[in-house]
């Protein structure tokens, strides 16, 4: 089978590897679609995501819809030919966070396609990945493979909304119109926000945000965003930039809420606590990945209640994975790029 293996920055190889046999409680899948995430782009271009540095060959990818190929021993409820979404987190299941339903905070959590541990946790950008059965969320045959690869970032958007609380009738501002930012706009619209505003440096992602439910789009490079200073009830920082962080803190109203979703490029950033947080009594929250939201994300899409098809701007066969990554890196023309089997 083909696998996309990263050896170092800009050293991606399509390798032939033997099929793995699924062990107890495991399932072998046939690749349906694997979305290229921002973390995959960072690993490819600079060989790291924050402090997670590629030090050994690693298969990329964690956003996947697959088709059950062979269930392992003890697996029930999953049959060959069945489509499944995969929750890419592998938690311990025994700590206080796992037992309280906050598995995304598990200190022992492992994540597909991550260099945060040695040995690295291998990803699923291969023709026949093997995953744990408990990570599988069955979906109907009607789920498109390209759209299904976007369920993982949709779950992240749903988790971010849950951290913000009720947005019904409220004005929402989102900094960063990447896939997660656009999906936050879609979910905020679905949940009854009175106005959804989103900003980005590039025009193309803003056109996608409009299709997904944003009411107002503004250039982060201009002065338009300043028109909402102190007027937004809930702000989501999804750009991972200092400018986006400051825009959220400026735009949030007194007593409002700011939710950080995007990781900042630097570990330490100057945070205007006195003027932007204390004096406005702002609630600041973090939002990390997702867990319980995966099944809901799948149901929203397959039921037709949420159409996220506009998010996918290109698909590539696995044999052209490097071309797909380079295409996904061009934010002037790409949003979510999905790799599929040859």
pLDDT at 271 (0 to 100): 87
Domain enclosing residue 321, as ranges? 2-150+308-340
CA atoms within 13 A on the CB side of 81: 1
pLDDT at 263 (0 to 100): 87
298 inside domain: no
176/266 same-domain check: yes
296 inside domain: no
185 upstream amide cis, omega within 30 of 0: no
212 inside domain: yes
321 inside domain: yes
50/109 same-domain check: yes
N- to C-terminal Cα separation, the chain: 11
Tell me, rounded to whole angstroms, the distance of Cα 242 from its chain centroid: 20
pLDDT one-digit tens code per residue, 165-210: 999 999 999 999 999 999 999 999 999 999 999 999 999 999 999 9
Domain count of the fold of the chain: 2
Q: What is the CATH number of the domain that holds 271?
A: 3.40.50.720
142/275 same-domain check: no
17/120 same-domain check: yes
Q: Is the pTM of this model over 0.85?
A: yes
pLDDT at 115 (0 to 100): 95
138/215 same-domain check: no
145/184 same-domain check: no
252/129 same-domain check: no
pLDDT under 70: residue ranges of the chain: none
Coil, strand or helix at 246: helix
312/282 same-domain check: no
144/8 same-domain check: yes
49/144 same-domain check: yes
Q: What is the CATH number of the domain that holds 47?
A: 3.90.180.10
110 inside domain: yes
Rounded Cα gap, residues 194 and 252, in angstroms: 15
Rounded Cα gap, residues 143 and 122, in angstroms: 26
55 inside domain: yes
List Cα–Cα distances, 251 to 32, 235, 306, in angstroms. Answer: 41, 7, 27
293 inside domain: no
166/34 same-domain check: no
pLDDT one-digit tens code per residue, 58-92: 999 999 999 999 999 999 999 999 999 999 988 99
Closest CA to 174 of 191, 187, 165: 187
126/176 same-domain check: no
86 inside domain: yes
pLDDT at 223 (0 to 100): 78
């Amino acid at each position: 089978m083909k696998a996309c293996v990263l050896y170092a920055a800009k050293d991606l190889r399509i390798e032939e590897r033997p099929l793995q046999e699924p062990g107890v409680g495991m399932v072998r899948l046939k690749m349906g679609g694997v979305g290229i995430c921002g973390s995959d782009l960072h690993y490819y271009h600079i060989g790291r995501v924050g402090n997670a540095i590629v030090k050994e060959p690693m298969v990329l990818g964690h956003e996947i819809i697959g088709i059950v190929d062979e269930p392992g021993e003890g697996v029930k409820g999953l049959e060959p030919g069945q489509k499944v979404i995969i929750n890419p987190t592998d938690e311990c299941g025994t700590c206080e966070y796992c037992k309280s339903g906050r598995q995304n905070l598990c200190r022992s959590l492992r994540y597909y396609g991550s260099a945060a541990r040695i040995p690295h946790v291998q990803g699923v950008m291969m023709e026949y990945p093997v995953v744990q059965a408990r990570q599988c969320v069955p979906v109907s045959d009607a789920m498109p493979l390209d759209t299904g690869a976007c369920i993982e970032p949709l779950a992240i958007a749903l988790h971010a909304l849950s951290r913000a609380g009720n947005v019904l009738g409220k004005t929402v501002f989102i900094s960063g119109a990447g896939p997660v930012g656009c999906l936050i706009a879609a979910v905020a619209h679905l949940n009854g926000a009175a106005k959804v505003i989103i900003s980005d440096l590039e025009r193309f992602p803003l056109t996608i945000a409009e299709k997904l439910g944003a009411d107002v789009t503004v250039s982060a490079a201009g002065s338009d965003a300043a028109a909402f200073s102190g007027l937004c009830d809930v702000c989501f920082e999804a750009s991972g930039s200092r400018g986006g962080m400051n825009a959220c803190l400026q735009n949030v109203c007194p007593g409002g809420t700011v939710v950080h979703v995007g990781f900042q490029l630097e570990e330490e950033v100057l945070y205007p606590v006195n003027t932007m947080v204390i004096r406005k009594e702002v609630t600041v929250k973090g939002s990390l990945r997702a867990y319980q939201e995966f099944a809901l994300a799948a149901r929203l899409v397959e039921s037709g209640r949420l159409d996220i098809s506009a998010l996918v701007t290109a698909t590539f066969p696995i044999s052209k994975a490097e071309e797909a990554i380079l295409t996904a890196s061009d934010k002037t023309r790409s949003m979510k790029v999905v790799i599929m089997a040859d």
